[in-house]
């Protein structure tokens, strides 16, 4: 069974369109994340949800809106796509708490978004 899954794997779309990426984790974790990995492979956190509550919202354009219907799912909707949004988007999950293992990230396979 896949621990963290994302759909779609590839997404090619035109500027101005709206698209969504879905993520699900079956690890029983209480925290989920969205990361963006650019062409230089730098991995930057965008959002974090803990038990469906938004706890981290980095400097991300308002066109990006995450939604967490329950603690096993975190979706990312992007409005009015721009060329600069082209990147690989990773969903991840972790189990919060005290001690070793806190924030250890379990990543999905990524969604490669190409905006033309």
Partner 1 sequence: TQLLEQSPQFLSIQEGENLTVYCNSSSVFSSLQWYRQEPGEGPVLLVTVVTGGEVKKLKRLTFQFGDARKDSSLHITAAQPGDTGLYLCAGDKTSYDKVIFGPGTSLSVIP
DSSP secondary structure letters along 25-53: E-S--SEEEEEEE-TT--EEEEEEEETTE
Check binding of 27 to partner 1 (CB under 8 A).
no
Cβ partners under 8 Å of residue 6, min gap 6: 21, 22, 23, 89, 90, 91, 108, 109, 110, 111
Nearest to 9 by CA among 92, 112, 89, 106: 112
Report the residue number, 5 or 65, with the smaller CB distance to partner 1.
Answer: 5
Report the residue number, 47 or 81, with the smaller CB distance to partner 1.
Answer: 47
Site string for partner 1, 54-73 (x = CB under 8 A): -xx-----------------
Check binding of 97 to partner 1 (CB under 8 A).
no
Check binding of 8 to partner 1 (CB under 8 A).
no
Binding site for partner 1 (CB under 8 A): 4, 33, 40-45, 48, 55-56, 90, 92, 100-110
């Amino acid at each position: 069974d896949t621990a963290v899954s994302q759909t779609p794997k590839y997404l090619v779309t035109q500027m101005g369109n709206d698209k969504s990426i879905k993520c699900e984790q079956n690890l029983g974790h209480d925290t989920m994340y969205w990361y963006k990995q650019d062409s230089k492979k730098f991995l930057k956190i965008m959002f974090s949800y803990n038990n469906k509550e938004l706890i981290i919202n980095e400097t991300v354009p308002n066109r990006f809106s995450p939604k967490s219907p329950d603690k096993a799912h975190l979706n990312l909707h992007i409005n009015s796509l721009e060329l600069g949004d082209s990147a690989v988007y990773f969903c991840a999950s972790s189990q919060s708490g005290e001690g070793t293992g806190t924030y250890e990230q379990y990543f999905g396979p990524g969604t490669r978004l190409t905006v033309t």
